[in-house]
Amino acid sequence: MSTPPNARRPDPVTMEVVELIGDVVARFYEDYEEAAGEHALTGAQARLLSLLALEPLPMRKLALKLKCEPSNVTGIVDRLEVRGLVERRPDPADRRVKLAAATEEGRRVARELREGLRFAREPLAGLSDAERRSLRELLRRMLGVG
């Protein structure tokens, strides 16, 4: 009874893929934190800044995208604002809303951050172009994108 014969365990290949993905996740995260650190940013600050580099967003939307409580966003934006990387703007359409926006300096840092990700180069460099396309297709399918 301790090991029901019909326990739905993933097959061995799936289990190994999950483990490999875990390794990729660990490596990617490590790389991201390091790249953020090179700009004296925490991971959370780097993620928020990267979002704002695309478009200004209300504090509430930032919380949704970062999957955290709105009260946290206040503090993270505060710290980025002190450093001149982010600014708060009023929303003409709704005076309750504050739009957080990356400054020019903030966008510059975000771009350097993105380009500093080693993971974009080294591990993938070991694959041929055909293999990268194959990997792209499999990841798309996995994520339900394609």
Partner DNA sequence: TATTGTTATACTCTATAACTATA
Partner DNA sequence: TATAGTTATAGAGTATAACAATA
CB of 102 to DNA, least distance (A): 15
Q: Please identify, using beta-carbon distances, which residue of 91 and 122 lies nearer to a copy of itself.
A: 122
> Among the candidate windows 2-10, 70-78, 109-117, 125-133, which touches DNA by CB under 7 A?
70-78
Site string for DNA, 78-117 (x = CB under 7 A): xx--------x--x--xxxxxx------------------
Angle, nearest 10°, between helix axes 12-37 and 43-54?
90
Single out the residue of 11, 67, 104, 125 in contact with DNA (rule: CB under 7 A).
67
Question: CA-to-CA distance for 86 and 79, rounded, in angstroms?
Answer: 9
